[in-house]
Amino acid sequence: MLIDSGLLAFAEGDVARARTDFESAFSLSPSPSAASNRAICFLHLRRVRDGVDYLEQLVEERPTMFCTEDVISALCQMYDLIWLDADDRRRALFLRVADHLHGHFDFAIFRLDELDRVVSRYRAL
């Protein structure tokens, strides 16, 4: 219910209210959807670094729950916005979370040109 309210607020342009709704939803029931939507609100509030820090902390502390396509995609997009070495950051993220990614995970989210080599190298370990 709070996620829906947050999505509606976001669609109406009230990003601050949307962020509050997503925070409330997350505190009641932590989910990748609430987390990634909250991070996207940070992006729209021009607080991209806060969004990155927030998602990285979740991925680090609870990788089994938060290594999802929604969360990783949002994180990779934010890397592109604030760092010149975004490829290096996406590669490091992949190597950090690869053990927690599920078989159906879309590795293209990492947007690495040499993804096949990175995945092959990882799987060889």
Mean pLDDT across 83-110: 84
Token couple for 79:
């890397």
Token couple for 17:
């209210």
Query: Where in the chain are the domains?
Result: 2-124
Q: Is the pLDDT of residue 123 over 70?
A: no
Q: Does domain 2-124 have CATH number 2.40.50.140?
A: no
Contact in structure between 87 and 117 (CB atoms under 8 Å):
no
Give the residue, 84 or 112, on which the prediction is more confident. 84
Mean pLDDT across 51-75: 94
Percent of the chain with pLDDT over 70: 88
Q: Whose CA is closest to 37, among 64, 4, 63, 59?
A: 4
pLDDT for 95: 84
Cα 3 to chain centroid distance, Å, stands at: 16
Mean pLDDT across 97-109: 79
Say whether pTM exceeds 0.85. Answer: no
Mean pLDDT across 59-88: 91
Token couple for 2:
């709070």
Quick one: angle between helices 32-44 and 69-82, nearest 10?
20
If you average pLDDT over every residue of the chain, what do you get?
A: 88
